Amino acid sequence: MSTGESYKRLYKCLRESEFSCVPAGFQETEDVYELVRETYPSLCEQNIQCGDVCGTDNNQPEWKHRIRSAQQDLVRDSESRIKRLSKGWYYEPLSVDIEAVPGEGDFKIGKRYNRWELHDVFGGQRYTGIATPAEQPFVFIFTGESGKDYGYEDEFLSNDTFLYTGEGAEGNMTMEGGNKAIREHRKENEEIHLFEDTEYPWIVSYVGQLEYAGHRWETLEDKQEHKREAIRFELEPAGGAGIEIESGTPSSLSEEELFKKAKQSAPITTSSSSGGSKASGSRSYPRSEVVKEFALRHADGVCQGCEEKAPFVDTSGDPFLEIHHLHRRADGGPDAPENVIALCPNCHRRRHHGRNGDEFNQRLIEKAEERNQKFF
Protein backbone atom coordinates (compact mmCIF):
# COMPACT_ATOMS: atom_id res chain seq x y z
CA MET A 1 0.00 0.00 0.00
CA SER A 2 1.42 3.38 -0.96
CA THR A 3 1.61 6.21 1.54
CA GLY A 4 -1.02 8.15 -0.38
CA GLU A 5 -3.63 5.44 0.18
CA SER A 6 -3.37 5.22 3.97
CA TYR A 7 -6.35 7.49 4.66
CA LYS A 8 -8.52 5.43 2.30
CA ARG A 9 -7.56 2.28 4.15
CA LEU A 10 -8.34 3.98 7.47
CA TYR A 11 -11.79 4.99 6.26
CA LYS A 12 -12.51 1.41 5.16
CA CYS A 13 -11.35 -0.04 8.49
CA LEU A 14 -13.54 2.35 10.47
CA ARG A 15 -16.60 1.69 8.33
CA GLU A 16 -16.20 -2.07 8.52
CA SER A 17 -15.47 -2.15 12.27
CA GLU A 18 -17.96 0.62 13.16
CA PHE A 19 -15.25 2.25 15.25
CA SER A 20 -14.77 -0.86 17.40
CA CYS A 21 -11.83 0.87 19.07
CA VAL A 22 -14.21 3.40 20.65
CA PRO A 23 -15.94 2.30 23.89
CA ALA A 24 -19.67 2.69 24.48
CA GLY A 25 -20.95 6.09 25.54
CA PHE A 26 -20.80 9.71 24.46
CA GLN A 27 -17.38 10.51 23.01
CA GLU A 28 -15.78 13.82 22.12
CA THR A 29 -14.34 13.94 18.62
CA GLU A 30 -10.87 14.77 19.92
CA ASP A 31 -10.96 11.65 22.08
CA VAL A 32 -12.05 9.58 19.08
CA TYR A 33 -9.08 10.94 17.11
CA GLU A 34 -6.73 9.71 19.82
CA LEU A 35 -8.36 6.28 20.11
CA VAL A 36 -8.22 5.77 16.34
CA ARG A 37 -4.64 6.92 16.18
CA GLU A 38 -3.65 4.49 18.93
CA THR A 39 -5.35 1.64 17.06
CA TYR A 40 -4.20 2.48 13.53
CA PRO A 41 -0.94 4.43 13.93
CA SER A 42 0.39 3.55 10.48
CA LEU A 43 -2.79 4.84 8.80
CA CYS A 44 -2.81 8.22 10.55
CA GLU A 45 -0.13 10.09 8.62
CA GLN A 46 0.38 13.68 9.67
CA ASN A 47 2.08 14.71 6.43
CA ILE A 48 -1.02 14.19 4.27
CA GLN A 49 -3.20 17.29 4.62
CA CYS A 50 -6.83 17.84 3.66
CA GLY A 51 -5.70 20.51 1.21
CA ASP A 52 -3.49 18.00 -0.58
CA VAL A 53 -6.43 15.67 -1.15
CA CYS A 54 -9.45 17.95 -1.46
CA GLY A 55 -7.85 21.06 -2.91
CA THR A 56 -9.03 23.24 0.00
CA ASP A 57 -7.18 25.56 2.36
CA ASN A 58 -7.72 23.15 5.27
CA ASN A 59 -4.37 22.18 6.72
CA GLN A 60 -5.76 19.50 9.06
CA PRO A 61 -4.44 15.96 8.55
CA GLU A 62 -6.60 14.04 6.09
CA TRP A 63 -6.93 11.06 8.46
CA LYS A 64 -9.00 13.21 10.82
CA HIS A 65 -11.21 14.23 7.93
CA ARG A 66 -11.73 10.56 7.08
CA ILE A 67 -12.77 9.83 10.65
CA ARG A 68 -15.47 12.49 10.46
CA SER A 69 -16.57 11.19 7.07
CA ALA A 70 -16.88 7.65 8.43
CA GLN A 71 -18.90 8.97 11.39
CA GLN A 72 -21.28 10.86 9.13
CA ASP A 73 -21.74 7.93 6.77
CA LEU A 74 -22.38 5.45 9.58
CA VAL A 75 -24.86 7.68 11.39
CA ARG A 76 -27.08 7.61 8.30
CA ASP A 77 -27.41 3.85 8.73
CA SER A 78 -30.14 3.15 11.27
CA GLU A 79 -28.46 -0.18 12.10
CA SER A 80 -25.11 1.44 12.92
CA ARG A 81 -23.84 1.68 16.51
CA ILE A 82 -23.13 5.39 16.04
CA LYS A 83 -25.93 7.84 16.82
CA ARG A 84 -25.99 11.60 16.63
CA LEU A 85 -28.02 12.72 19.65
CA SER A 86 -28.64 16.14 21.14
CA LYS A 87 -25.62 15.80 23.43
CA GLY A 88 -23.27 14.64 20.70
CA TRP A 89 -21.88 11.44 19.21
CA TYR A 90 -23.03 8.30 21.00
CA TYR A 91 -21.37 4.94 20.40
CA GLU A 92 -23.60 2.01 21.27
CA PRO A 93 -22.13 -1.15 22.84
CA LEU A 94 -20.79 -3.68 20.37
CA SER A 95 -22.74 -6.93 19.94
CA VAL A 96 -25.69 -5.59 21.96
CA ASP A 97 -29.00 -4.78 20.28
CA ILE A 98 -30.33 -1.32 21.12
CA GLU A 99 -33.86 -0.54 19.99
CA ALA A 100 -34.87 2.75 18.46
CA VAL A 101 -37.15 4.64 20.86
CA PRO A 102 -40.75 4.20 19.64
CA GLY A 103 -42.49 7.51 19.08
CA GLU A 104 -45.79 6.23 20.53
CA GLY A 105 -44.24 4.80 23.68
CA ASP A 106 -44.82 1.19 22.63
CA PHE A 107 -41.86 -0.20 24.58
CA LYS A 108 -41.05 -3.91 24.54
CA ILE A 109 -40.26 -5.71 27.78
CA GLY A 110 -36.63 -6.75 27.98
CA LYS A 111 -35.52 -4.56 25.07
CA ARG A 112 -32.73 -2.05 25.59
CA TYR A 113 -33.06 1.65 24.80
CA ASN A 114 -30.80 4.66 24.91
CA ARG A 115 -32.05 6.86 27.74
CA TRP A 116 -30.64 10.02 26.20
CA GLU A 117 -32.57 9.28 23.01
CA LEU A 118 -35.64 8.55 25.13
CA HIS A 119 -35.53 12.11 26.46
CA ASP A 120 -34.75 13.51 23.02
CA VAL A 121 -38.02 11.98 21.83
CA PHE A 122 -40.28 12.54 24.85
CA GLY A 123 -38.57 15.14 27.02
CA GLY A 124 -38.35 14.91 30.80
CA GLN A 125 -35.51 15.14 33.28
CA ARG A 126 -32.39 13.27 32.18
CA TYR A 127 -30.49 13.02 35.45
CA THR A 128 -33.16 12.03 37.96
CA GLY A 129 -34.79 8.73 38.85
CA ILE A 130 -38.24 10.06 37.94
CA ALA A 131 -38.80 11.84 34.63
CA THR A 132 -42.04 13.66 33.87
CA PRO A 133 -42.23 14.77 30.21
CA ALA A 134 -44.28 17.97 30.06
CA GLU A 135 -46.04 17.23 26.77
CA GLN A 136 -46.45 13.45 27.03
CA PRO A 137 -48.77 11.25 29.15
CA PHE A 138 -45.88 9.32 30.68
CA VAL A 139 -43.96 9.07 33.94
CA PHE A 140 -40.61 7.37 33.40
CA ILE A 141 -38.94 5.85 36.44
CA PHE A 142 -35.45 4.37 36.56
CA THR A 143 -33.85 1.89 38.92
CA GLY A 144 -30.37 0.44 39.26
CA GLU A 145 -27.54 -0.50 41.55
CA SER A 146 -26.12 3.03 41.52
CA GLY A 147 -29.21 4.28 43.34
CA LYS A 148 -27.99 2.68 46.56
CA ASP A 149 -25.23 5.29 46.69
CA TYR A 150 -27.92 7.95 47.08
CA GLY A 151 -30.04 6.17 49.67
CA TYR A 152 -32.54 4.61 47.25
CA GLU A 153 -33.71 1.06 47.96
CA ASP A 154 -35.82 -0.54 45.24
CA GLU A 155 -36.96 -4.13 45.26
CA PHE A 156 -39.47 -6.55 43.80
CA LEU A 157 -41.64 -8.59 46.12
CA SER A 158 -42.82 -12.14 45.48
CA ASN A 159 -46.32 -10.93 44.57
CA ASP A 160 -44.92 -8.80 41.68
CA THR A 161 -45.25 -5.55 43.65
CA PHE A 162 -42.33 -3.22 43.07
CA LEU A 163 -41.19 -1.09 46.01
CA TYR A 164 -39.75 2.07 44.50
CA THR A 165 -38.02 4.75 46.54
CA GLY A 166 -39.20 8.27 45.73
CA GLU A 167 -36.94 11.13 44.64
CA GLY A 168 -34.91 13.28 46.97
CA ALA A 169 -31.24 12.48 47.66
CA GLU A 170 -30.89 14.46 50.89
CA GLY A 171 -33.21 15.23 53.80
CA ASN A 172 -36.81 14.17 54.24
CA MET A 173 -38.70 13.43 51.04
CA THR A 174 -41.86 15.33 50.15
CA MET A 175 -44.88 14.41 48.07
CA GLU A 176 -43.98 16.87 45.32
CA GLY A 177 -42.53 16.80 41.83
CA GLY A 178 -41.92 13.28 40.55
CA ASN A 179 -43.26 11.72 43.74
CA LYS A 180 -46.58 13.48 43.26
CA ALA A 181 -46.60 12.47 39.59
CA ILE A 182 -46.39 8.79 40.56
CA ARG A 183 -49.14 9.05 43.16
CA GLU A 184 -51.52 10.95 40.86
CA HIS A 185 -50.74 9.33 37.51
CA ARG A 186 -54.24 7.88 37.18
CA LYS A 187 -55.84 11.24 37.90
CA GLU A 188 -53.65 12.81 35.22
CA ASN A 189 -54.21 9.90 32.77
CA GLU A 190 -50.50 9.14 32.67
CA GLU A 191 -48.70 5.82 32.36
CA ILE A 192 -45.76 4.78 34.55
CA HIS A 193 -42.97 3.00 32.68
CA LEU A 194 -40.08 1.36 34.54
CA PHE A 195 -36.55 1.09 33.13
CA GLU A 196 -33.50 -0.56 34.69
CA ASP A 197 -29.91 0.59 34.27
CA THR A 198 -27.48 -1.72 32.48
CA GLU A 199 -23.70 -1.94 32.60
CA TYR A 200 -23.50 0.44 29.63
CA PRO A 201 -23.71 4.24 29.96
CA TRP A 202 -27.17 5.61 29.17
CA ILE A 203 -28.46 2.19 28.06
CA VAL A 204 -31.53 1.03 29.98
CA SER A 205 -33.65 -2.11 29.83
CA TYR A 206 -37.45 -1.81 29.78
CA VAL A 207 -39.08 -3.69 32.66
CA GLY A 208 -42.74 -2.87 32.09
CA GLN A 209 -45.70 -0.61 32.77
CA LEU A 210 -46.70 -0.21 36.40
CA GLU A 211 -49.51 1.40 38.38
CA TYR A 212 -49.61 3.12 41.75
CA ALA A 213 -51.08 0.85 44.43
CA GLY A 214 -50.06 2.78 47.55
CA HIS A 215 -47.06 4.14 49.39
CA ARG A 216 -45.42 3.96 52.78
CA TRP A 217 -43.04 6.12 54.77
CA GLU A 218 -39.83 4.50 56.01
CA THR A 219 -36.68 5.70 57.70
CA LEU A 220 -33.76 5.32 55.28
CA GLU A 221 -30.32 6.85 54.95
CA ASP A 222 -29.86 9.66 52.46
CA LYS A 223 -26.87 10.48 50.27
CA GLN A 224 -24.96 11.77 53.30
CA GLU A 225 -25.85 8.63 55.32
CA HIS A 226 -28.18 10.67 57.54
CA LYS A 227 -31.47 9.16 58.66
CA ARG A 228 -34.48 10.66 56.92
CA GLU A 229 -38.13 9.93 56.15
CA ALA A 230 -38.40 8.40 52.69
CA ILE A 231 -41.31 7.47 50.44
CA ARG A 232 -41.50 3.93 49.14
CA PHE A 233 -44.11 3.50 46.45
CA GLU A 234 -45.95 0.23 46.03
CA LEU A 235 -46.32 -0.28 42.29
CA GLU A 236 -47.96 -3.23 40.60
CA PRO A 237 -48.02 -4.38 36.97
CA ALA A 238 -50.51 -2.43 34.88
CA GLY A 239 -53.85 -4.18 34.98
CA GLY A 240 -53.07 -5.93 38.25
CA ALA A 241 -50.78 -8.68 39.42
CA GLY A 242 -53.23 -11.51 38.82
CA ILE A 243 -54.59 -13.42 35.84
CA GLU A 244 -58.14 -14.68 35.61
CA ILE A 245 -58.70 -18.21 34.34
CA GLU A 246 -62.33 -19.01 33.53
CA SER A 247 -62.05 -22.74 34.13
CA GLY A 248 -59.31 -25.09 35.21
CA THR A 249 -55.85 -24.15 36.48
CA PRO A 250 -52.63 -22.91 34.81
CA SER A 251 -51.49 -26.52 34.41
CA SER A 252 -54.62 -27.30 32.38
CA LEU A 253 -53.91 -24.61 29.76
CA SER A 254 -52.01 -25.16 26.55
CA GLU A 255 -48.66 -23.48 25.96
CA GLU A 256 -50.29 -20.95 23.64
CA GLU A 257 -53.04 -20.21 26.17
CA LEU A 258 -50.51 -19.71 28.95
CA PHE A 259 -48.59 -17.20 26.86
CA LYS A 260 -51.76 -15.32 25.93
CA LYS A 261 -53.02 -15.21 29.52
CA ALA A 262 -49.71 -14.03 30.88
CA LYS A 263 -49.61 -11.21 28.33
CA GLN A 264 -53.13 -10.09 29.20
CA SER A 265 -52.27 -9.49 32.87
CA ALA A 266 -55.94 -9.32 33.91
CA PRO A 267 -56.61 -7.70 37.31
CA ILE A 268 -57.31 -9.82 40.37
CA THR A 269 -61.01 -10.04 41.18
CA THR A 270 -62.20 -11.40 44.53
CA SER A 271 -65.54 -12.92 45.38
CA SER A 272 -66.39 -9.84 47.42
CA SER A 273 -65.96 -7.47 44.48
CA SER A 274 -69.01 -5.79 43.08
CA GLY A 275 -69.59 -4.56 39.58
CA GLY A 276 -66.72 -6.68 38.21
CA SER A 277 -66.75 -8.68 35.00
CA LYS A 278 -65.45 -11.91 36.50
CA ALA A 279 -67.06 -14.93 34.86
CA SER A 280 -68.95 -17.38 37.02
CA GLY A 281 -66.64 -20.09 38.32
CA SER A 282 -63.45 -18.29 37.27
CA ARG A 283 -60.44 -17.87 39.53
CA SER A 284 -57.51 -15.49 39.64
CA TYR A 285 -53.90 -16.70 39.83
CA PRO A 286 -50.70 -14.72 40.46
CA ARG A 287 -49.19 -13.76 37.14
CA SER A 288 -45.83 -15.18 38.25
CA GLU A 289 -47.45 -18.61 38.59
CA VAL A 290 -48.80 -18.50 35.03
CA VAL A 291 -45.51 -17.25 33.61
CA LYS A 292 -43.60 -19.96 35.48
CA GLU A 293 -45.95 -22.62 34.14
CA PHE A 294 -45.38 -21.34 30.60
CA ALA A 295 -41.58 -21.53 30.88
CA LEU A 296 -41.66 -25.01 32.41
CA ARG A 297 -44.19 -26.27 29.90
CA HIS A 298 -42.08 -25.16 26.98
CA ALA A 299 -38.91 -26.65 28.50
CA ASP A 300 -40.64 -30.02 28.97
CA GLY A 301 -38.15 -31.14 31.59
CA VAL A 302 -35.06 -30.07 29.63
CA CYS A 303 -32.75 -27.25 30.70
CA GLN A 304 -32.76 -24.52 28.05
CA GLY A 305 -29.12 -23.72 28.79
CA CYS A 306 -27.21 -27.01 28.58
CA GLU A 307 -30.11 -28.88 26.92
CA GLU A 308 -29.78 -31.73 29.40
CA LYS A 309 -32.66 -33.28 31.33
CA ALA A 310 -33.49 -31.78 34.73
CA PRO A 311 -31.04 -33.14 37.34
CA PHE A 312 -33.81 -34.55 39.57
CA VAL A 313 -37.55 -34.55 40.19
CA ASP A 314 -39.13 -32.48 42.94
CA THR A 315 -41.45 -33.65 45.72
CA SER A 316 -44.38 -33.42 43.31
CA GLY A 317 -42.67 -35.74 40.85
CA ASP A 318 -41.97 -33.00 38.30
CA PRO A 319 -38.58 -32.30 36.68
CA PHE A 320 -36.85 -29.62 38.74
CA LEU A 321 -35.92 -26.50 36.75
CA GLU A 322 -35.60 -22.89 37.88
CA ILE A 323 -37.07 -19.79 36.23
CA HIS A 324 -34.56 -17.25 34.94
CA HIS A 325 -35.50 -13.69 34.02
CA LEU A 326 -33.46 -12.90 30.95
CA HIS A 327 -33.27 -9.13 31.10
CA ARG A 328 -32.80 -8.57 34.82
CA ARG A 329 -29.60 -8.80 36.82
CA ALA A 330 -31.37 -10.51 39.65
CA ASP A 331 -34.35 -12.83 39.74
CA GLY A 332 -37.77 -11.42 40.49
CA GLY A 333 -39.82 -8.54 39.25
CA PRO A 334 -42.80 -8.20 36.93
CA ASP A 335 -42.95 -11.34 34.84
CA ALA A 336 -43.53 -11.51 31.12
CA PRO A 337 -43.68 -14.84 29.28
CA GLU A 338 -41.24 -13.71 26.59
CA ASN A 339 -38.79 -12.67 29.28
CA VAL A 340 -38.28 -15.99 31.11
CA ILE A 341 -36.63 -19.32 30.44
CA ALA A 342 -36.25 -22.54 32.43
CA LEU A 343 -32.76 -23.59 33.55
CA CYS A 344 -31.20 -26.29 35.66
CA PRO A 345 -29.65 -25.00 38.92
CA ASN A 346 -26.15 -25.27 37.48
CA CYS A 347 -26.90 -23.15 34.39
CA HIS A 348 -28.82 -20.66 36.52
CA ARG A 349 -25.76 -20.16 38.72
CA ARG A 350 -23.56 -19.98 35.64
CA ARG A 351 -25.58 -17.03 34.36
CA HIS A 352 -25.37 -15.06 37.60
CA HIS A 353 -21.94 -16.05 38.87
CA GLY A 354 -19.99 -17.45 35.91
CA ARG A 355 -17.12 -15.65 34.25
CA ASN A 356 -18.97 -15.66 30.92
CA GLY A 357 -22.39 -15.05 32.44
CA ASP A 358 -23.31 -12.16 30.13
CA GLU A 359 -22.28 -14.08 27.03
CA PHE A 360 -24.23 -17.09 28.23
CA ASN A 361 -27.29 -14.95 28.91
CA GLN A 362 -27.13 -13.53 25.39
CA ARG A 363 -27.36 -17.06 23.99
CA LEU A 364 -30.37 -17.69 26.23
CA ILE A 365 -32.00 -14.49 24.98
CA GLU A 366 -31.54 -15.59 21.38
CA LYS A 367 -33.06 -18.98 22.17
CA ALA A 368 -36.04 -17.35 23.88
CA GLU A 369 -36.56 -14.94 20.97
CA GLU A 370 -36.70 -17.89 18.60
CA ARG A 371 -39.23 -19.57 20.91
CA ASN A 372 -41.34 -16.42 21.18
CA GLN A 373 -41.74 -15.94 17.44
CA LYS A 374 -44.55 -18.48 17.22
CA PHE A 375 -46.59 -16.65 19.87
CA PHE A 376 -46.50 -13.13 18.40
Any idea what the CATH number is for the domain that residue 188 is in?
2.30.280.10
- Residue 330 pLDDT exceeds 70: no
Relative to beta strand 138-143, strand 191-197 is parallel
Q: What is the dihedral of CA 12, 17, 19, 23, to 10 degrees?
A: -170
Predicted pLDDT at 335: 63
Q: Please check whether residue 291 lies inside any domain of the structure.
A: yes
Extract long-range pairs of 218-226: CB within 8 Å, 24+ residues apart: 220/151, 220/153, 220/165, 221/151, 222/150, 222/151, 222/168, 222/169, 222/170, 222/171, 223/149, 223/150, 223/151, 223/169, 223/170, 224/170, 225/151, 226/170, 226/171
Q: Does 266 or 232 have the greater pLDDT score? A: 232
More confident residue, 185 or 263: 185
Q: Are residues 212 and 256 in the same domain?
A: no
Please give the Cα distance from 229 to 355 (Å, whole number).
40
d(CA 71, CA 85): 13
User: Does residue 369 lie in a domain region?
Assistant: yes
Stretch (H or E) spanning 346: helix 345-353
| 103 belongs to a structural domain | no
Residues 125-171 have pLDDT tens digits of: 999 999 999 999 999 999 988 777 777 889 888 667 899 999 998 99
Residue that terminates a domain, selected from 91, 123, 147: 91
C-alpha 327 chain-centroid distance: 7
User: What is the pLDDT averaged over residues 76-96?
Assistant: 92
The reported pLDDT for the residue numbered 273 is 34
pLDDT, the chain, mean: 87
- Confidence (pLDDT) at 12: 95
pLDDT per residue over 184-216, tens digit each?
999 999 999 999 999 899 999 998 899 999 999
Burial 171-194 (b: 16+ CB within 10 A, else e): eebeeebbbebbbebeeeebbbbb
Number of domains in the chain: 3
| DSSP 8-state secondary structure symbol assigned to residue 61 | B
- C-beta of residue 66 within 8 angstroms of C-beta of residue 50: no
153/223 same-domain check: yes
Burial class for 130, CB neighbours closer than 10 Å (0-12, 13-18, 19+): buried
What's the pLDDT band for 300 if we cut at 50, 70, 90? very high
With bands split at pLDDT 50, 70 and 90, how would you rate the model's confidence at 264? low
In a domain, 97, yes or no: no
Query: What are the b/e assignments for 197-232, b being 16+ CB within 10 Å?
Result: bbebbbbbbbbbbbbbeebeeeebebeeeeebebbb
* Cα distances (angstroms) measured from residue 247 to each of 97, 276, 298, 357: 40, 17, 21, 40
pLDDT of residue 3: 52
Domain co-membership, 299 together with 369: yes
Same-domain pairing of 363 and 293: yes
Strand 283-286 and strand 242-245: the pairing is antiparallel
Q: Is residue 348 part of a domain?
A: yes
pLDDT of 138 reads 97
Same domain, 246 and 360: yes
Cβ burial, residue 30 (10 Å; 0-12/13-18/19+)? exposed
User: Where residue 263 falls among pLDDT bands split at 50, 70, 90?
Assistant: confident
**Cβ neighbours of residue 321 closer than 8 Å, sequence gap 6 or more:** 296, 299, 301, 303, 310, 342, 343, 344
Judge whether 106 lies within some domain: no
Claim to verify: residue 129 and residue 215 sit in the same structural domain: yes
Report, as an integer, the average pLDDT of 169-185: 96
Same domain, 268 and 371: yes
Are the beta carbons of 123 and 140 closer than 8 angstroms?
A: no
Residue 114 has pLDDT above 50, yes or no: yes
Q: Are residues 81 and 138 in the same domain?
A: no
Structural domain containing residue 167: 112-237
Q: Where is average pLDDT lowest: 94-103, 155-164, 176-185?
A: 155-164
143, 18: one domain: no
The residue among 59, 91, 123 that closes a domain is 91
pLDDT at 157: 80
Same domain, residue pair 131 and 221: yes
Pair (320, 198) in one structural domain: no
How many Cβ atoms from other residues are within 10 Å of residue 328's Cβ?
A: 17
At 219-246, the pLDDT tens digits run 998 888 899 999 999 998 886 666 777 7
Is pLDDT at 271 greater than 60 in this prediction? no
178, 211, 237 — which closes off a domain? 237
Percent of the chain, pLDDT > 90? 60
Tell me if 102 is assigned to some domain: no
Question: Could you count the other beta carbons within 10 Å of the beta carbon of residue 57?
Answer: 8
At 16-56, the pLDDT tens digits run 999 999 999 999 999 999 999 999 999 999 988 888 887 77
35 and 70 in a single domain? The answer is yes
Q: How far apart are CA 299 and CA 292, in angstroms?
A: 11
222 found inside a domain: yes
Mean pLDDT score, 339-365: 92
- The predicted structure's pLDDT at residue 241: 62
User: Using alpha carbons only, what angle is made at residue 295 by residues 313 and 106, rounded to the nearest 5 degrees?
Assistant: 165
Backbone angles phi, psi at 75, to 5 degrees: -65, -20
